[in-house]
Structure 1
Amino acid sequence: MPARASEPSFPARREFTLNRVVEAPRALVFRAFIEPERMKQWWAPRGFHILSCALDLREGGAWRMRIRSDETGAIQTEVGTYREISEPERLVFTHAWVRRDGSLTPTTLVTVTFADLDEGTEVRFTQSDFHSPEFCQSHEEGWSSSLEQLTKYAPRL
Protein backbone atom coordinates (compact mmCIF):
# COMPACT_ATOMS: atom_id res chain seq x y z
CA MET A 1 0.00 0.00 0.00
CA PRO A 2 1.52 3.38 -0.94
CA ALA A 3 2.13 5.95 1.79
CA ARG A 4 -0.46 8.68 2.08
CA ALA A 5 0.58 12.25 1.39
CA SER A 6 -0.19 13.17 5.01
CA GLU A 7 2.38 10.63 6.26
CA PRO A 8 5.75 11.82 5.02
CA SER A 9 8.64 9.50 5.70
CA PHE A 10 11.81 11.19 6.86
CA PRO A 11 15.02 9.32 7.55
CA ALA A 12 16.03 9.40 11.20
CA ARG A 13 18.81 11.93 11.71
CA ARG A 14 21.99 10.05 12.58
CA GLU A 15 24.57 12.85 12.66
CA PHE A 16 25.12 16.54 13.23
CA THR A 17 27.81 19.08 12.43
CA LEU A 18 28.65 22.18 14.45
CA ASN A 19 30.97 24.96 13.27
CA ARG A 20 32.61 27.48 15.56
CA VAL A 21 35.24 30.16 15.09
CA VAL A 22 37.67 30.17 17.98
CA GLU A 23 39.81 33.28 18.31
CA ALA A 24 43.11 31.49 18.87
CA PRO A 25 45.81 29.91 16.69
CA ARG A 26 44.98 26.49 15.25
CA ALA A 27 47.81 24.70 17.11
CA LEU A 28 46.46 25.92 20.47
CA VAL A 29 42.86 25.08 19.64
CA PHE A 30 43.93 21.57 18.65
CA ARG A 31 45.81 21.26 21.97
CA ALA A 32 42.58 22.20 23.78
CA PHE A 33 41.16 18.90 22.47
CA ILE A 34 44.07 16.72 23.58
CA GLU A 35 45.49 18.17 26.81
CA PRO A 36 43.51 17.30 29.96
CA GLU A 37 44.21 20.58 31.76
CA ARG A 38 42.87 22.55 28.80
CA MET A 39 39.96 20.13 28.23
CA LYS A 40 38.82 20.62 31.83
CA GLN A 41 38.16 24.29 31.03
CA TRP A 42 35.51 23.67 28.36
CA TRP A 43 34.73 20.02 27.46
CA ALA A 44 31.70 19.40 29.69
CA PRO A 45 28.43 21.16 28.82
CA ARG A 46 27.18 24.09 30.91
CA GLY A 47 26.01 22.83 34.28
CA PHE A 48 28.63 20.05 34.42
CA HIS A 49 32.30 19.93 35.33
CA ILE A 50 35.05 17.42 34.71
CA LEU A 51 36.15 15.24 37.62
CA SER A 52 38.84 13.30 35.75
CA CYS A 53 40.30 12.98 32.29
CA ALA A 54 42.62 10.17 31.16
CA LEU A 55 44.00 10.04 27.62
CA ASP A 56 46.22 7.53 25.83
CA LEU A 57 46.96 9.96 23.03
CA ARG A 58 47.85 7.68 20.13
CA GLU A 59 45.86 6.13 17.33
CA GLY A 60 44.17 3.11 18.93
CA GLY A 61 44.61 4.63 22.39
CA ALA A 62 41.67 4.94 24.77
CA TRP A 63 40.31 8.02 26.51
CA ARG A 64 37.99 8.27 29.54
CA MET A 65 36.33 11.25 31.17
CA ARG A 66 34.09 11.57 34.22
CA ILE A 67 31.77 14.56 34.55
CA ARG A 68 29.43 15.65 37.33
CA SER A 69 26.16 17.59 37.16
CA ASP A 70 26.36 20.77 39.22
CA GLU A 71 22.60 20.54 39.83
CA THR A 72 22.11 16.90 40.83
CA GLY A 73 25.62 15.68 41.58
CA ALA A 74 25.10 12.76 39.17
CA ILE A 75 28.34 11.44 37.71
CA GLN A 76 28.58 10.25 34.10
CA THR A 77 31.50 8.57 32.38
CA GLU A 78 32.27 8.89 28.69
CA VAL A 79 34.83 6.77 26.86
CA GLY A 80 36.29 6.25 23.43
CA THR A 81 39.24 5.34 21.26
CA TYR A 82 41.35 7.59 19.07
CA ARG A 83 41.11 6.63 15.41
CA GLU A 84 43.16 9.47 13.87
CA ILE A 85 45.39 12.16 15.31
CA SER A 86 46.71 14.53 12.64
CA GLU A 87 47.93 17.52 14.61
CA PRO A 88 46.84 20.28 14.10
CA GLU A 89 44.37 19.51 11.28
CA ARG A 90 42.14 16.62 12.31
CA LEU A 91 41.09 14.47 15.26
CA VAL A 92 38.83 11.40 14.99
CA PHE A 93 37.64 9.36 17.95
CA THR A 94 34.80 7.13 19.08
CA HIS A 95 32.43 8.18 21.85
CA ALA A 96 30.15 6.22 24.19
CA TRP A 97 28.67 6.58 27.68
CA VAL A 98 29.13 4.00 30.40
CA ARG A 99 25.76 2.87 31.76
CA ARG A 100 25.17 2.14 35.45
CA ASP A 101 25.51 -1.60 34.79
CA GLY A 102 28.94 -1.03 33.19
CA SER A 103 27.78 -1.63 29.61
CA LEU A 104 28.24 1.03 26.94
CA THR A 105 25.73 2.99 24.94
CA PRO A 106 26.04 2.49 21.17
CA THR A 107 29.31 3.99 19.96
CA THR A 108 29.32 7.11 17.81
CA LEU A 109 32.13 8.61 15.74
CA VAL A 110 33.44 12.15 16.25
CA THR A 111 35.47 13.95 13.59
CA VAL A 112 36.92 17.38 14.36
CA THR A 113 38.76 19.46 11.79
CA PHE A 114 40.70 22.66 12.45
CA ALA A 115 41.23 25.28 9.74
CA ASP A 116 43.26 28.49 9.87
CA LEU A 117 41.30 31.71 9.50
CA ASP A 118 42.47 35.32 9.69
CA GLU A 119 40.51 35.73 12.91
CA GLY A 120 41.52 32.41 14.48
CA THR A 121 40.51 28.82 13.87
CA GLU A 122 37.40 27.27 12.38
CA VAL A 123 36.43 24.15 14.32
CA ARG A 124 34.14 21.76 12.44
CA PHE A 125 32.74 19.13 14.82
CA THR A 126 30.77 16.18 13.40
CA GLN A 127 29.32 13.31 15.42
CA SER A 128 27.72 10.43 13.53
CA ASP A 129 26.29 6.90 13.74
CA PHE A 130 23.61 7.65 16.33
CA HIS A 131 21.09 4.90 17.08
CA SER A 132 18.19 7.32 17.61
CA PRO A 133 17.24 10.89 16.66
CA GLU A 134 16.75 11.71 20.36
CA PHE A 135 20.29 10.62 21.27
CA CYS A 136 21.58 12.67 18.33
CA GLN A 137 19.65 15.76 19.48
CA SER A 138 20.86 15.52 23.08
CA HIS A 139 24.48 15.22 21.95
CA GLU A 140 24.11 18.15 19.57
CA GLU A 141 22.81 20.30 22.43
CA GLY A 142 25.59 19.15 24.77
CA TRP A 143 28.41 19.68 22.29
CA SER A 144 26.99 23.04 21.21
CA SER A 145 27.18 24.14 24.84
CA SER A 146 30.72 22.78 25.21
CA LEU A 147 31.94 24.45 22.04
CA GLU A 148 30.47 27.77 23.19
CA GLN A 149 32.54 27.36 26.35
CA LEU A 150 35.60 26.69 24.19
CA THR A 151 35.08 29.98 22.36
CA LYS A 152 34.91 31.79 25.73
CA TYR A 153 38.01 29.96 27.00
CA ALA A 154 40.02 30.79 23.83
CA PRO A 155 41.71 33.96 25.15
CA ARG A 156 43.34 31.85 27.89
CA LEU A 157 44.64 29.15 25.52
Structure 2
Amino acid sequence: MSNTTPTTGTTADREIVISRIIDAPRELVFTAFTEVRHLSQWWGPNGFTTTTTSFDFRIDGEWDFVMHGPDGTDYPEWIRWTQIVAPELIVLVHGERPDDPNAFTSTIVFATDATRPGSTRIEMRTVFPTKESRDEAVQRYHAIEGGEQTLGNLAAYVSGLTAR
Protein backbone atom coordinates (compact mmCIF):
# COMPACT_ATOMS: atom_id res chain seq x y z
CA MET A 1 0.00 0.00 0.00
CA SER A 2 3.06 2.25 0.10
CA ASN A 3 4.36 4.01 -2.95
CA THR A 4 7.56 5.89 -3.69
CA THR A 5 7.14 8.26 -6.62
CA PRO A 6 9.88 9.55 -8.94
CA THR A 7 9.83 13.32 -9.15
CA THR A 8 10.45 15.88 -11.86
CA GLY A 9 11.51 19.51 -11.82
CA THR A 10 14.38 21.39 -10.32
CA THR A 11 14.36 19.55 -6.99
CA ALA A 12 14.02 15.99 -8.36
CA ASP A 13 17.57 14.99 -7.46
CA ARG A 14 17.06 16.29 -3.89
CA GLU A 15 13.62 14.77 -3.21
CA ILE A 16 12.05 11.71 -1.69
CA VAL A 17 8.30 11.26 -2.15
CA ILE A 18 6.46 8.57 -0.22
CA SER A 19 2.72 8.00 -0.20
CA ARG A 20 0.25 5.58 1.32
CA ILE A 21 -3.48 4.97 1.50
CA ILE A 22 -4.62 4.71 5.11
CA ASP A 23 -7.97 3.16 5.98
CA ALA A 24 -9.09 5.97 8.27
CA PRO A 25 -10.77 9.36 7.84
CA ARG A 26 -8.54 12.30 6.97
CA GLU A 27 -9.32 14.20 10.18
CA LEU A 28 -8.18 11.25 12.31
CA VAL A 29 -4.98 10.76 10.30
CA PHE A 30 -4.24 14.49 10.59
CA THR A 31 -4.88 14.41 14.36
CA ALA A 32 -2.57 11.41 14.78
CA PHE A 33 0.13 13.44 12.99
CA THR A 34 -0.37 16.61 15.05
CA GLU A 35 -0.86 15.60 18.69
CA VAL A 36 2.12 14.42 20.72
CA ARG A 37 0.04 11.82 22.61
CA HIS A 38 -0.49 10.10 19.26
CA LEU A 39 2.88 10.81 17.64
CA SER A 40 4.76 9.11 20.45
CA GLN A 41 2.85 5.90 19.71
CA TRP A 42 3.84 5.52 16.04
CA TRP A 43 6.55 7.98 14.93
CA GLY A 44 9.63 6.47 13.35
CA PRO A 45 10.70 3.36 11.49
CA ASN A 46 10.08 -0.16 12.80
CA GLY A 47 11.80 -0.82 16.11
CA PHE A 48 12.27 2.87 17.00
CA THR A 49 10.69 4.69 19.93
CA THR A 50 10.36 8.41 20.52
CA THR A 51 10.82 10.53 23.64
CA THR A 52 9.54 14.11 23.41
CA THR A 53 11.39 16.92 25.18
CA SER A 54 9.04 19.72 24.06
CA PHE A 55 6.11 19.99 21.65
CA ASP A 56 4.29 23.09 20.36
CA PHE A 57 2.16 22.38 17.30
CA ARG A 58 1.58 25.74 15.63
CA ILE A 59 3.23 27.72 12.85
CA ASP A 60 6.81 28.40 14.02
CA GLY A 61 6.25 25.97 16.91
CA GLU A 62 8.85 23.29 17.52
CA TRP A 63 9.06 19.65 18.46
CA ASP A 64 12.28 18.53 20.19
CA PHE A 65 12.57 14.78 20.58
CA VAL A 66 14.92 11.82 20.63
CA MET A 67 14.43 8.76 18.47
CA HIS A 68 15.77 5.62 20.11
CA GLY A 69 17.03 3.02 17.65
CA PRO A 70 16.53 -0.70 18.16
CA ASP A 71 20.29 -1.00 18.76
CA GLY A 72 20.14 1.55 21.60
CA THR A 73 21.48 4.49 19.58
CA ASP A 74 19.81 7.83 20.36
CA TYR A 75 19.13 10.29 17.54
CA PRO A 76 18.36 13.86 18.63
CA GLU A 77 15.71 15.39 16.34
CA TRP A 78 14.08 18.76 15.88
CA ILE A 79 11.08 19.89 13.81
CA ARG A 80 9.67 23.39 13.20
CA TRP A 81 6.27 23.72 11.55
CA THR A 82 6.17 26.40 8.86
CA GLN A 83 2.67 25.87 7.44
CA ILE A 84 -0.44 24.18 8.83
CA VAL A 85 -3.78 23.89 7.02
CA ALA A 86 -5.95 21.50 9.06
CA PRO A 87 -6.75 18.78 8.02
CA GLU A 88 -5.07 19.10 4.61
CA LEU A 89 -1.42 20.11 4.82
CA ILE A 90 1.63 20.36 7.05
CA VAL A 91 4.99 21.83 6.01
CA LEU A 92 7.91 21.38 8.36
CA VAL A 93 11.67 21.74 8.63
CA HIS A 94 13.39 18.70 10.18
CA GLY A 95 16.95 18.34 11.39
CA GLU A 96 19.03 17.30 14.35
CA ARG A 97 18.85 20.84 15.76
CA PRO A 98 17.65 24.30 14.67
CA ASP A 99 20.97 25.26 13.04
CA ASP A 100 21.46 21.92 11.25
CA PRO A 101 22.90 22.65 7.77
CA ASN A 102 21.43 19.36 6.53
CA ALA A 103 17.89 20.09 7.72
CA PHE A 104 15.27 19.21 5.12
CA THR A 105 11.76 20.40 4.36
CA SER A 106 8.82 18.02 4.27
CA THR A 107 5.37 18.75 2.86
CA ILE A 108 2.71 16.32 4.05
CA VAL A 109 -0.60 16.32 2.19
CA PHE A 110 -3.68 14.60 3.62
CA ALA A 111 -6.36 13.92 0.98
CA THR A 112 -9.61 12.01 1.12
CA ASP A 113 -9.15 9.01 -1.16
CA ALA A 114 -11.94 9.05 -3.76
CA THR A 115 -11.52 5.38 -4.63
CA ARG A 116 -11.89 4.17 -1.03
CA PRO A 117 -14.51 6.04 0.99
CA GLY A 118 -13.40 6.77 4.54
CA SER A 119 -9.72 6.45 3.59
CA THR A 120 -6.92 9.00 3.40
CA ARG A 121 -4.11 9.32 0.90
CA ILE A 122 -1.07 10.76 2.65
CA GLU A 123 1.88 12.01 0.63
CA MET A 124 5.18 13.05 2.20
CA ARG A 125 7.43 15.08 -0.12
CA THR A 126 10.86 15.74 1.40
CA VAL A 127 13.38 18.12 -0.18
CA PHE A 128 16.98 18.06 1.02
CA PRO A 129 19.38 21.02 0.73
CA THR A 130 21.65 19.12 -1.69
CA LYS A 131 21.65 15.97 -3.80
CA GLU A 132 24.50 14.70 -1.64
CA SER A 133 22.53 15.11 1.61
CA ARG A 134 19.55 13.34 0.01
CA ASP A 135 21.78 10.49 -1.19
CA GLU A 136 23.37 10.16 2.25
CA ALA A 137 19.92 10.02 3.89
CA VAL A 138 18.89 7.28 1.46
CA GLN A 139 22.09 5.22 1.62
CA ARG A 140 23.30 5.69 5.19
CA TYR A 141 20.02 6.22 7.05
CA HIS A 142 17.67 4.24 4.76
CA ALA A 143 15.32 7.22 4.48
CA ILE A 144 13.01 5.66 1.89
CA GLU A 145 12.49 2.42 3.83
CA GLY A 146 12.25 4.37 7.08
CA GLY A 147 9.65 6.73 5.63
CA GLU A 148 7.60 3.83 4.30
CA GLN A 149 7.81 2.07 7.68
CA THR A 150 6.84 5.27 9.50
CA LEU A 151 3.71 5.69 7.36
CA GLY A 152 3.01 1.98 7.90
CA ASN A 153 3.23 2.53 11.66
CA LEU A 154 0.85 5.49 11.33
CA ALA A 155 -1.59 3.32 9.35
CA ALA A 156 -1.47 0.55 11.96
CA TYR A 157 -1.91 3.04 14.79
CA VAL A 158 -4.97 4.79 13.35
CA SER A 159 -6.42 1.41 12.36
CA GLY A 160 -6.30 0.52 16.04
CA LEU A 161 -8.02 3.78 16.93
CA THR A 162 -10.83 3.21 14.42
CA ALA A 163 -11.33 -0.37 15.67
CA ARG A 164 -12.16 0.92 19.18
TM-score, length basis structure 2: 0.79
1:48-63 → structure 2 map (5 Å cutoff): 48-52=48-52, 54-63=54-63
Whole-angstrom CA distance in 2 between matches of 1:143 and 1:124? 11
Report the 3-state secondary structure (helix = DSSP H, G, I; strand = E; otherwise coil) of the residue aligned with 2:96.
strand
Partner of 1:126: 125
Structure 2: runs of 5 or more not aligned: 1-10
Q: Deviations over 1:70-97 (max 9, x none)?
A: 22x1111111211011100000000002
- RMSD (Å), alpha carbons: 2.1
**Count of residues paired in the alignment:** 143
Runs of 4+ in 1 over 3 A off after TM superposition: none
Whole-angstrom CA distance in 2 between matches of 1:85 and 1:46? 27
1:49-128 → structure 2 map (5 Å cutoff): 49-52=49-52, 54-71=54-71, 73-98=72-97, 104-117=100-113, 118-128=117-127
| Identical amino acids, percent of aligned pairs | 28
Report the 3-state secondary structure (helix = DSSP H, G, I; strand = E; otherwise coil) of the residue aligned with 1:150.
helix
Partner of 1:8: none
Partner of 1:23: 23
- Residue type of the alignment partner of 2:148: S
Structure 1: runs of 5 or more not aligned: 1-10
Residues 33, 108 of structure 1: CA spacing in aligned structure 2 closer, same or farther, 3 A cutoff?
same
Whole-angstrom CA distance in 1 between matches of 2:12 and 2:84? 30
Whole-angstrom CA distance in 2 between matches of 1:119 and 1:104? 39
Whole-angstrom CA distance in 1 between matches of 2:33 and 2:70? 22
Whole-angstrom CA distance in 1 between matches of 2:39 and 2:119? 19
Q: Which of the pair has more CA radius of gyration?
A: 1
Quote the offset at 1:65 in angstroms.
1.6
Quote the offset at 1:128 in angstroms.
0.4
Quote the offset at 1:48 in angstroms.
1.0
